[in-house]
């Protein structure tokens, strides 16, 4: 089976989902269904359009963005620059509160650790990657050997293609869950500066309550600028700014990097997500949310520190809630089951009677996955399934882990390392580690205490790994001792430890470094067991499933989202289903009406002051039927003529089923319009320089 798959890899670009229909699909740029999109939308795009869109599309952290001038100006969402804004702010000069409004380019400020990328090339490396999964005599590798051999080959390919270049990044991308591998090459910008951000409350009006919903009233847009050699990057290829009032039914394309979908999972895999992954992730996230909310109420400093973390956590949590609802929605699950039954029937017809092939293999794996998930998520993180942040997302812990692991891994040959420390990835590791970021120790302690406490609870107090972590200490005592004692907040200390290597790490008396050193044995063991018993066999079975899907359904399929550039399309329109009935647009007038005067429904002061200058019927947000998901945030929304008309910033809570399948009736992306952004720049924040750069008036 696997060899047949390897042989047909070249055509697998068309082989991963049951046939996609209408607006469905997050398509790769080298397999975009031009004809179908033209027919569905009544437009006439071609390869030149695709190339221009690709080269105007920017990946910025976990977000998407689009070039809007020839001088490196980029529009994304305000929530995509929230960390940058927080890092540039102090409690006294809080740009989240005031907005960030540089009058000249000299006042634009570099986002600490920020970088941006543009996809410049796609190359097929499927054959090479599949071959790497074989042993020296052509036998199939298994378990960790398989995982590591594949990882090492990917890193080799990346190194060969990008070498030591600092303005490029190479990435081997697994598509169709291993059915296909592509080498993506990016032009990389390591100097990204904040060019404009509105008042945070103008962008987050309605807060968590309005998040993942429509009608919506949020100017969730911000500008960054790409710099090269200290000056704005030269970017002749970019979208054209178009701020006209949008019309219902207008065809649009959305170009961005959706994070992850799980549409190709079998029903048994989805059941594990529903029964084990989502409940644990959501339950413990909810407790962290409670701790952070109460923390934020303890004083102004705490409120300032916790704002960004709460927003981010609530976003993840609400998305998870939408997914729980999808996986427990009898109608939706029946649809998924129907699709699987059809696939299985075709498979059975083509294979030995009674064979369950890759489905059976995946079913067999689920009890092990269910058993191992909590430890993997809590101690190691980084599964493609869950969202639980190791150490509660503590920045100090993350640095400590990077330092300890890099010190342990760097002496090895690149191919023998944990893949995230392979040669081709070390530059990014260092960038993250050396970035100057503010650290809030009390908040860090809340995070670490929560994490230790939940790890002890879920793995149980008698688990030997928990005993290794805690010794005779309590989560409260240990987290306080580590966070009070660590000196890792100082970049010079981090740099010295990095440069000192393993000797410096082992000699360090930093309590956080010592802790992370101590937890390496249990943590690495959990990861090895996961890779051996869950990840590798899942990868194998998923590749077989990809081949079977191709055999059953032929072409016209798209791969699951993987955080890489995709193009999707749709129409500007509202919805008309129970629980979600509304038109396509909201206006500034609607915003004024919705303001109660109590948070989160207070209009930001500068925005409110401009009330009389903005026509009440100016469109603020709109809904489109395109197929997006987390990671699509900031995606440019463009016409068939390459004009940018908005930035995707959200979808509705019903749309969260999108992780598992596209539903034309309910799936809506939420867009902030260029018209609203223009009004904000002109009437609220006085950004005349930027308006001139965009060619407005």
Which positions lie near a second copy, rule CB under 8 A? 206, 208-210, 213, 274-276, 279, 282-284, 286-295, 297-298, 321, 324, 328, 446, 450, 456-457, 460-461, 470, 472-474, 476-477, 596-600
Residue number, 221 or 326, with CB nearest to a second copy: 326
Residue number, 141 or 288, with CB nearest to a second copy: 288
Residue number, 313 or 344, with CB nearest to a second copy: 313
Our CA dihedral for 142, 145, 147, 152, rounded to 10 degrees, sits at -140
Q: Which residue blocks in 23-117 are alpha helix, DSSP H?
A: 34-41, 47-56, 82-88, 95-98
The distance of closest approach from Cβ of residue 286 to a second copy in the complex, given in angstroms and rounded to an integer, is 4
Q: Which of 124, 96, 150 is nearest to 31 (CA)?
A: 124
316 sits in which H/E element:
helix 300-327
Contacts of 150 (CB under 8 A, 6+ apart): 129, 132, 133, 539
Distance CA 378, CA 3 (A): 36
Residue number, 291 or 524, with CB nearest to a second copy: 291
**Helices and strands per DSSP (H, E), number in the chain:** 26, 20
Q: Give yes or no for a contact between 536 and 144, defined as CB atoms under 8 angstroms apart.
A: yes
Distance CA 515, CA 400 (A): 9
Residue number, 181 or 304, with CB nearest to a second copy: 304
Residue number, 207 or 563, with CB nearest to a second copy: 207
The distance of closest approach from Cβ of residue 441 to a second copy in the complex, given in angstroms and rounded to an integer, is 15
Residue number, 60 or 205, with CB nearest to a second copy: 205
3-state secondary structure 400-447: HHHHHHHHHHCCCCHHHCCHHHCHHHHHHHHHHHHCCCCCCHHHHHHH
Q: What count of residues does the chain have?
A: 697
Q: Is 185 helix (H, G, I), strand (E, B) or coil?
A: strand
Distance CA 222, CA 76 (A): 5
| Distance, first Cα to last Cα, the chain | 62
The distance of closest approach from Cβ of residue 483 to a second copy in the complex, given in angstroms and rounded to an integer, is 14
Residue number, 335 or 502, with CB nearest to a second copy: 335
Residue number, 342 or 476, with CB nearest to a second copy: 476
Tracing tokens 């596209």 back to the chain, one arrives at 662
The distance of closest approach from Cβ of residue 378 to a second copy in the complex, given in angstroms and rounded to an integer, is 15
Q: Which of 261, 361, 233, 249 is nearest to 26 (CA)?
A: 261
Q: Does the N-terminal peptide bond of residue 689 adopt cis geometry, omega within 30 degrees of 0?
A: no
Distance CA 99, CA 197 (A): 5
Residue number, 77 or 213, with CB nearest to a second copy: 213
Distance CA 631, CA 278 (A): 19
Residue number, 25 or 392, with CB nearest to a second copy: 392
The distance of closest approach from Cβ of residue 518 to a second copy in the complex, given in angstroms and rounded to an integer, is 17
The distance of closest approach from Cβ of residue 554 to a second copy in the complex, given in angstroms and rounded to an integer, is 34
The distance of closest approach from Cβ of residue 317 to a second copy in the complex, given in angstroms and rounded to an integer, is 9
Residue number, 58 or 276, with CB nearest to a second copy: 276
Residue number, 114 or 206, with CB nearest to a second copy: 206
Residue number, 140 or 476, with CB nearest to a second copy: 476
Distance CA 190, CA 426 (A): 15
Q: Give yes or no for a contact between 198 and 605, defined as CB atoms under 8 angstroms apart.
A: no
Q: Give yes or no for a contact between 342 and 553, defined as CB atoms under 8 angstroms apart.
A: no
Residue number, 209 or 247, with CB nearest to a second copy: 209
Distance of CA 504 to the CA centre of its chain: 34
The distance of closest approach from Cβ of residue 519 to a second copy in the complex, given in angstroms and rounded to an integer, is 18
The tokens describing 489, both together, are: 């907040």
Q: Is 651 helix (H, G, I), strand (E, B) or coil?
A: strand
- For helices 330-350 and 536-553, angle between their N-to-C axes, nearest 10 degrees: 80
The distance of closest approach from Cβ of residue 427 to a second copy in the complex, given in angstroms and rounded to an integer, is 38
The distance of closest approach from Cβ of residue 490 to a second copy in the complex, given in angstroms and rounded to an integer, is 27
Task: Sort residue 595 into left (φ over 0), alpha (ψ -120 to 50) or beta.
Answer: beta
Distance CA 665, CA 667 (A): 6
Cross-strand pairs, 585: 622
The distance of closest approach from Cβ of residue 475 to a second copy in the complex, given in angstroms and rounded to an integer, is 9
The distance of closest approach from Cβ of residue 453 to a second copy in the complex, given in angstroms and rounded to an integer, is 8
Which string of b and e fits 599-636 if b means at least 16 CB within 10 Å? eebebbebbbebbeebeeebbbbbbbbbbbbbbbbbbb
Q: Which of 685, 689, 665 is nearest to 676 (CA)?
A: 685
The distance of closest approach from Cβ of residue 598 to a second copy in the complex, given in angstroms and rounded to an integer, is 4
Cross-strand pairs, 648: 671
The tokens describing 502, both together, are: 């393993």
Distance CA 486, CA 95 (A): 29
The distance of closest approach from Cβ of residue 217 to a second copy in the complex, given in angstroms and rounded to an integer, is 12
The distance of closest approach from Cβ of residue 469 to a second copy in the complex, given in angstroms and rounded to an integer, is 13
Residue number, 202 or 284, with CB nearest to a second copy: 284
The distance of closest approach from Cβ of residue 294 to a second copy in the complex, given in angstroms and rounded to an integer, is 4
The distance of closest approach from Cβ of residue 290 to a second copy in the complex, given in angstroms and rounded to an integer, is 2
Residue number, 302 or 632, with CB nearest to a second copy: 302
């Amino acid at each position: 089976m696997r060899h047949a798959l390897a042989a047909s890899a070249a055509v697998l670009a068309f082989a991963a989902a049951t046939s996609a229909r209408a607006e469905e699909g997050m398509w790769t740029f080298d397999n975009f269904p031009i004809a179908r999109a033209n027919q569905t939308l009544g437009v006439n795009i071609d390869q030149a359009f695709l190339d221009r869109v690709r080269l105007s599309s920017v990946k910025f952290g976990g977000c998407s963005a689009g070039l809007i001038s020839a001088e490196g100006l980029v529009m994304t969402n305000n929530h995509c620059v929230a960390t940058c804004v927080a890092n540039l702010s102090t409690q006294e000069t809080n740009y989240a509160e005031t907005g960030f409004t540089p009058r000249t380019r000299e006042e634009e400020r570099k986002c600490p650790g920020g970088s941006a990328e543009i996809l410049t090339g796609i190359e097929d490396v499927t054959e090479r990657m599949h071959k790497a999964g074989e042993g020296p005599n052509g036998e199939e590798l298994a378990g960790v050997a398989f995982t590591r051999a594949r990882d090492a080959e990917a890193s080799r390919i990346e190194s060969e293609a990008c070498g030591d270049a600092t303005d490029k990044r190479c990435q081997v991308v697994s598509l169709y869950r291993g059915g296909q591998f592509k080498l993506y090459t990016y032009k990389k910008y390591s100097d990204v500066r904040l060019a404009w951000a509105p008042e945070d409350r103008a962008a987050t009006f309605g807060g968590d309550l309005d998040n993942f919903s429509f009608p919506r009233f949020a100017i969730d847009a911000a500008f960054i600028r790409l710099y090269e050699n200290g000056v704005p990057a030269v970017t002749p290829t970019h979208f054209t700014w178009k701020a006209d009032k949008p019309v219902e039914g207008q065809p649009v394309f959305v170009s961005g990097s959706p994070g992850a979908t799980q549409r190709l999972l079998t029903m048994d895999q989805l059941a594990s997500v529903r029964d084990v992954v989502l409940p644990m992730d959501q339950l413990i996230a909810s407790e962290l949310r409670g701790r952070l909310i109460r923390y934020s109420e303890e004083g102004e400093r705490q409120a300032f520190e916790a704002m960004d973390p709460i927003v981010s956590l609530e976003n993840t949590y609400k998305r998870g809630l939408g997914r729980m609802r999808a996986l427990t929605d009898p109608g939706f699950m029946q649809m998924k089951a129907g699709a699987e039954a059809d696939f299985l029937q075709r498979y059975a017809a083509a294979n030995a009677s009674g064979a369950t092939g890759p489905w059976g293999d995946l079913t067999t794996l689920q009890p092990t996955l269910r058993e191992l998930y909590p430890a993997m998520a809590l101690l190691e993180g980084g599964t493609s399934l869950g969202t639980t942040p190791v150490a509660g997302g503590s920045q100090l812990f993350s640095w400590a882990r990077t330092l300890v692991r890099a010190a342990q891994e760097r002496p090895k040959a690149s191919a023998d390392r944990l893949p995230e420390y392979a040669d081709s990835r070390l530059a990014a590791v260092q960038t993250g580690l050396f970035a100057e970021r503010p650290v809030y120790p009390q908040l860090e302690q809340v995070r670490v205490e929560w994490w230790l406490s939940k790890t002890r609870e879920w793995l149980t107090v008698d688990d030997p790994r928990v005993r290794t972590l805690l010794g005779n200490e309590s989560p409260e005592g240990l987290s306080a001792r580590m966070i009070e004692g660590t000196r890792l907040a100082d970049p010079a200390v981090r740099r010295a430890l990095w440069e000192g290597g393993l000797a410096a790490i082992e000699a360090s008396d930093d309590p956080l470094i010592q802790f992370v050193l101590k937890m390496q044995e249990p943590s690495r063991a959990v990861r090895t067991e996961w890779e051996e018993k869950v990840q590798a066999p899942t990868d194998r079975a998923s590749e077989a499933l990809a081949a079977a899907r191709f055999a059953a359904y032929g072409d016209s399929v798209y791969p699951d989202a993987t955080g890489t550039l995709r193009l999707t399309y749709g129409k500007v329109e509202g919805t008309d289903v129970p629980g979600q009935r509304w038109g396509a647009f909201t206006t500034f007038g609607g915003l004024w009406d919705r303001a109660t005067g109590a948070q989160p429904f207070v209009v930001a002061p500068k925005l409110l002051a401009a009330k009389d200058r903005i026509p009440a019927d100016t469109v603020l947000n709109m809904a489109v039927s395109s197929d997006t998901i987390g990671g699509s945030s900031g995606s440019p929304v463009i016409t068939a003529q390459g004009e940018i008309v908005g930035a995707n910033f959200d979808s509705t809570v019903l749309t969260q089923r999108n992780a598992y399948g596209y539903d034309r009736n309910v799936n809506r992306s939420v867009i902030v319009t260029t018209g609203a952004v223009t009004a904000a720049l002109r009437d609220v924040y006085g950004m005349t320089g930027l308006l001139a750069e965009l060619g407005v008036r």
